[in-house]
Chain A
Amino acid sequence: MIKTIELVVSLKMPDTTAITALQTLQKLGFGRIKEVKRYFYYKFSVDGNLEDFKSKISKVDNLVNANKHTFDFEIKKDNYVKVLVKNTDDDGSGILSTLKDRLGFNNIKKVESAVMWGLLIDGNEKEAGKIAEKAAKDLLANENYQEFAIL
């Protein structure tokens, strides 16, 4: 039976890209965005034992380098509005081929990857969602080759 599992990876050290995103958003007038975090997001479709898969995939240093990354198998529920940005024509075949052909993960059927932004926004849930959507359109995604979703 095919099951899906998410892997959310972030840097342990200060993320200069997230800092630049915050500064740029504030310069663009997004003063209510107080903090930005960035995550590498993967979604695997897996056939087989999930616990075994979790244990092995978290040791693949192409995805998680224990020296600099921290990871989780779910998107944490916190005060940050999450914006998932994905390249529309990336079918994940590059990562899939590395994991299957070079690292022996034969039980993976499909991989999706994206960048996930976490925005700490001063405002209620509805306002924050609107601000996050505008931030995605203005800076975080180019909709000519990317799509985004507010989670």
Chain B
Amino acid sequence: MPKPNVAVVYFPGNNCEEETLSAVLAAGMDGKIVRWNQRKDIDKYHGYVIPGGWAYEDRIRAGVIAAKDPVFKIIKKEAESGKPVLGVCNGAQALVECGMIPGLKNQVEMALAPNKNPFISGYYCTWVFIKSEQEKNKCAFTNSIDKNEIIPIPIAHGEGRFVTRDKELLQKLIKNNQIIFRYSTKEGKVEDKFPVNPNGAMYNIAAICNKKGNVMAIMPHPERASFVRQLPDITNLKNMSAGNISGMERPAPARKMFDSMKRYIEEEML
């Protein structure tokens, strides 16, 4: 069986493409950083990751210029055929701005609005915990993650607050099992208050997938929490590996999102 081959689609201004590729490779997939204007043959990849950063300097709104780029027409078409697409942070903003998330109507149904934080306005960077809301196999990026599993993961954004003006949308997302991760305490308690909910997102949403489950927008950064060495001291995993170089290179819990992507491609695409 060939290895899953994933394109990390880079837009001018992104800055997480290298670490995203590292996580893709560490999960046992092949991958390549593909520039936004290298559209020829981009449809040959088995899946796509839109990395974090500041595509087009966040001009007008975070993610909106990337979302209007012609490469997204190709990515949309490939996603419709079932290929997995993961948008991380700025990539998540682009997936929302192009309407792929939540993808119930052919229009922009949500926004990632400026954070609501009682102490800091604008950009906020910290470690948080997210809890898996769904059974395995609901989403291409969680088939290796148990329901209610808690994952330590960093956020780094100024506009990460999932909102919508559609009063019925949240209930539809819950009913469709499209809410994949919610911000929680270390023990898994979902509290709608700072710092547990670090940006004021509705329903503590950290990640949403489309109805089919093959496209996911996640505001926290799984690629920055894919190795034990990347974890902060708030987790026991790093302390347990202190002084042990090979232990530091072991996978951290967020790597499972990339492991899941690999498994999904192997089961569905190859």
Interface residues of A (CB under 8 A from B): 16-17, 20-21, 24, 27-28, 87, 89-90, 94, 139-140, 142-146
Contact = CB atoms under 8 A, between A and B. Distances in A.
Contacts of A21: 59-60
A48 B56 CA distance: 43
21 contacts: A16-B57, A17-B57, A20-B59, A20-B60, A20-B65, A21-B60, A89-B113, A139-B68, A140-B60, A142-B61, A142-B64, A142-B97, A142-B108, A144-B108, A144-B109, A144-B110, A144-B113, A145-B111, A145-B113, A145-B163, A145-B165
B60 A139 contact: yes
A16 B68 CA distance: 17
B236 to A, nearest CB: 38
Nearest to A21: B60
A17 B13 CA distance: 14
Contact of A144 (B65, B68, B114, B163): B163
Interface in B58-83: 59-61, 64-65, 68
B113 A24 contact: no
A94 B59 CA distance: 22
Given A142-B97, A142-B111, A16 B163 contact: no
Question: Which size bracket describes the interface of B in this complex?
Answer: 20 to 34
A43 B97 CA distance: 29
A94 B14 CA distance: 29
Contacts of B61: 142
B121 interface: yes
B68 A24 contact: yes
Residue in A139, A142, A145, A146 with the greatest tally of chain B CB atoms within 10 Å: A142
B230 interface: no
A94 B119 CA distance: 11
Contacts of A146: 111
A27 B68 contact: yes
B164 interface: yes
A143 B61 CA distance: 12
Contacts of B68: 24, 27-28, 139
Contact of A16 (B59, B64, B97): B59
B13 to A, nearest CB: 11
Contacts of A144: 108-111, 113, 163-166
Contacts of A28: 68
Contacts of A16: 57, 59
A139 B113 CA distance: 15
A117 B122 CA distance: 22
Contacts of B110: 144
A138 to B, nearest CB: 9
A118 to B, nearest CB: 14
Given A20-B65, A145-B113, 19 more contacts: A16-B57, A17-B57, A17-B59, A17-B60, A20-B56, A20-B59, A20-B60, A21-B60, A24-B68, A28-B68, A89-B116, A140-B60, A142-B61, A142-B64, A142-B111, A144-B108, A144-B109, A145-B111, A145-B165
